Amino acid sequence: QVQLQESGPRLVKPSGTLSLTCRVSGDSVSGSYWWIWVRQSPGKGLEWIGEIHHSGSTNYNPSLKSRVTISVDKAQNQFSLKVTSVTAADTAVYFCAREPTNDYGRTDSWGQGTLVTVSS
């Protein structure tokens, strides 16, 4: 049973960089999956941030594209999210998730989420 766990600083200053890691246990990040980031602003709905394929191919939400980087660290069996030039609007719970490439849409494994607050 795969488990995903987000980690990283919970407080980031405005104009700084938000960095989160999703540690994967019970499976390999080198497996045939899309590794996904989604966020949810307090009291609001869900927003897809982007994804990385096990081959290294990435897709990003155009609303964030110029500020977002998703990468995979095979040695540590984890994947990461970086968002630059953050503002209060980036305050949200950030979730990581996994989707098999051979069963498109079956995003059935999620981390518990971590709240990141942007504030001075």
Partner 1 sequence: EIVLTQSPGTLSLSPGDRATLSCRASQVVNSNYLTWYQQKPGQAPRLLIYGASRRATGIPDRFSGSGSATDFTLTISRLEPEDFAVYYCQQYGRLPRTFGQGTKVEIK
Tokens of 45: 């709905």
The answer to whether residue 56 forms part of the interface with partner 1 (CB under 8 A) is: no
User: At closest approach, how far in Å is the CB of 97 from partner 1?
Assistant: 8
Is residue 107 within 8 Å of 97, Cβ to Cβ? Answer: yes
Residue 96 CB, nearest approach to partner 1 (Å): 9
For residue 34, the one-letter residue type is W
104 lines the binding site for partner 1 (CB under 8 A): yes
Does residue 119 contact residue 14 with C-beta atoms inside 8 Å?
A: yes
Residue from 62, 84, 102, 117 in contact with partner 1 (CB under 8 A): 62
CA-to-CA distance for 27 and 80, rounded, in angstroms? 16
Binding site residues, partner 1, CB under 8 A: 38, 45-48, 59-63, 95, 97, 104-108, 110-113
